[in-house]
Each structure stands twice: as C-alpha cells, then as structure tokens.
Amino acid sequence: MEVIAFVGKSGTGKSHRAHLVARQYGAELIIDDGLLIHGNRVVAGYSAKREETRVGAIKRALFQDPHHAEEVREKVKEIDAKRVLVIGTSEKMVRTICRTLELPEPTRVVYIEDVSTKKEIEEARKIRTVDGKHVIPVPTLEIKKYFSGYLLDPLKIFYRRGRQEIVTEKSVVRPTYSYLGRYTVADTVISQIALHVARSIEGIGGGGRAVVENHGSGVAISLELTVQYGIPILPLMEKVQQEVKEKVEYMTALNVLRVDIKVKKLFFRKEKEA
C-alpha cells in the first residue's frame, strides 16, 4: 500500500480539496480527522469534529483511542487499497497517524499550496475562524447519522477533468467545540413539532400523543393518533411518517431514525347541512 500525505495548516481547506487530490493520485481511501472514507462513504472511524474540546479533537484525529484505531486499522486491511490519502496539519502528524494505523511511511507529500491559490486558502481560513465551519468530504446524507443535532449543510463541488464535468458533494459542519457554542432541542419541542405536522395532514384528528427516544445516532418518535373513519389507514400512516421525518429533520437538524405510529381512535366527519 502506498501512502500519499496531504498537508496544510488547520482551516486552509484540505478537506474541501481531499477528493480532488485523491483522484489526482489514484487514492481509493481517505483518512481525515478520525474518519476512514471510501468513495463517498464513511466506512469506519469517529469524527474529531464530534468531540467536545479541541484537545479531544486532536487526540481523536491522531487515533489515540485504541478501539478507534483498531476499527480503522482492520477496515483498511479488509479493503486492501493500493493507495491511501492521509490528511494532516503537518508531515509529523501524518507520520504519527501512519505509525498508529500500521501504514507505510508516505512516499509523496502534497501541500495545500500545491492545489489551492492564496486567495482560496485565505477564504477557507475566514470561513473557519469567522463562521466556525468545517468541511467533511462526504455527502450530507451519508454522515447525518454521525452528526445528529449538528448544523449540516450540503456543499456541491463542480470541476472538470478534460471534457468531463464532475460533481461531488461534501458537507459543512459546525463542531461542538466551535466558539459559537452548542445548542440543544428539548424533547417537548420535538414532540410538539411531530404532532403539529401529523395533525395538519388531511384525515388526522386532534389530540394524540408523541414520545421521543434519544439515541446516539438520532431520535425515534412514537405517535398515537386519531384517524378519520373511512380513509385507508396504511397509505395515510406512510404519508404521516414521511412528513414528520422530513419536517423534524429540517427544523431541528436531528437525524430521525424512525417514526412509529399507533392509531388509537377513529372519528367521524360530520356532514355539513345543505
């Protein structure tokens, strides 16, 4: 296995350029901030951007947790790629990661200045320092389960290779150790949003109940609803599930794992008099 080191100071746009550099040098795997990325998927690891402190983030990025390091090490062996791109803030950091994960020493070092202009690097630093935002080189849909409750935004990248136009998607995340602080969403807020969305759908009556269960990768919502007599229940419940999931995720940034529904009562719609 050949290792390509991609080096640049923190906040200079390395993750933003990761896929471009990986394609250029034929790297099938990317190791970035504690994650092992294969194509557009996170296949192992734990993101340093989920840590509560900067010190914790550095330790995570260096794979100092033995279980974390073992998981990534085994997955790298399983995939058995010819080349891997390891991202770090210095050559020393990349070599430390390689030793911990039992990878060979880098045969080539690519610096952020080799692939980005001075203006692009300055813009990346501004986004990091002013907005507290970080880029993860994976589509937002892929990492939602790893960043439930975090502010995530998709970022589409367009570039050309010869006559071919290539489109890739990355994600912008604001970590918990950002100086802007963190936010929380109370369970009562989630349950009220879920009930409001459900009741706004034709065929769902008033009342009802919502219970929220918190898990590490997101929330599970259980609804008890009243349904209008005469309306086919199954397609109506599928619509409620879809609407509740979409609206709760949009309004709270939480990953909704599932929406369970119990129909507790039926109601009859009174015909209006002529």
95-117 pLDDT, tens digit per residue, is 999 999 999 999 999 999 998 88
In a domain, residue 219? The reply is yes
In a domain, residue 77? The reply is yes
Q: Which pLDDT score is estimated for 39? A: 82
Better pLDDT: 152 or 42: 42
**Strand, helix or coil for residue 47:** coil
Q: What is the arithmetic mean of pLDDT over 159-168? A: 53
In a domain, residue 234? The reply is yes
> How many CB atoms within 10 Å of residue 225?
24
Question: Both 125 and 211 in a single domain?
Answer: no
Residues 6+ apart with CB under 8 A from 182: 176
CATH of the domain at 25: 3.40.50
In a domain, residue 259? The reply is yes
Any idea what the Cα angle at residue 4 is, between residues 20 and 89, rounded to 5°? 85
Q: Which pLDDT score is estimated for 242? A: 94
Integer angstrom CA distances of residue 40 from 21, 116, 136? 14, 22, 11
- Extract the tokens encoding 132: 């507290």
In a domain, residue 249? The reply is yes
Q: What is the arithmetic mean of pLDDT over 74-102? A: 94
Q: What is the arithmetic mean of pLDDT over 180-192? A: 73
Q: Which pLDDT score is estimated for 179? A: 46
In a domain, residue 176? The reply is no
Name 85's bridge partners.
4, 30
- Cα–Cα distance between 18 and 14 in angstroms, integer? 6
* 36: confidence class by pLDDT, cuts 50, 70, 90: very high
Predicted TM-score (pTM) of this structure: 0.60
CA 238 to chain centre: 26
Q: Please, what is the average pLDDT of the chain? A: 81
Secondary structure letter of residue 269 according to DSSP: P
**Where a domain ends, among 64, 95, 130?**
130
Burial (CB count within 10 angstroms: exposed 0-12, middle 13-18, buried 19+), residue 184: exposed
Better pLDDT: 35 or 167: 35
Count structural domains, the chain: 2
Summarised one tens digit per residue, pLDDT across range 214-251 is: 876 778 999 999 999 999 999 999 999 999 999 988 88
Q: Which domain holds residue 77?
A: 2-130
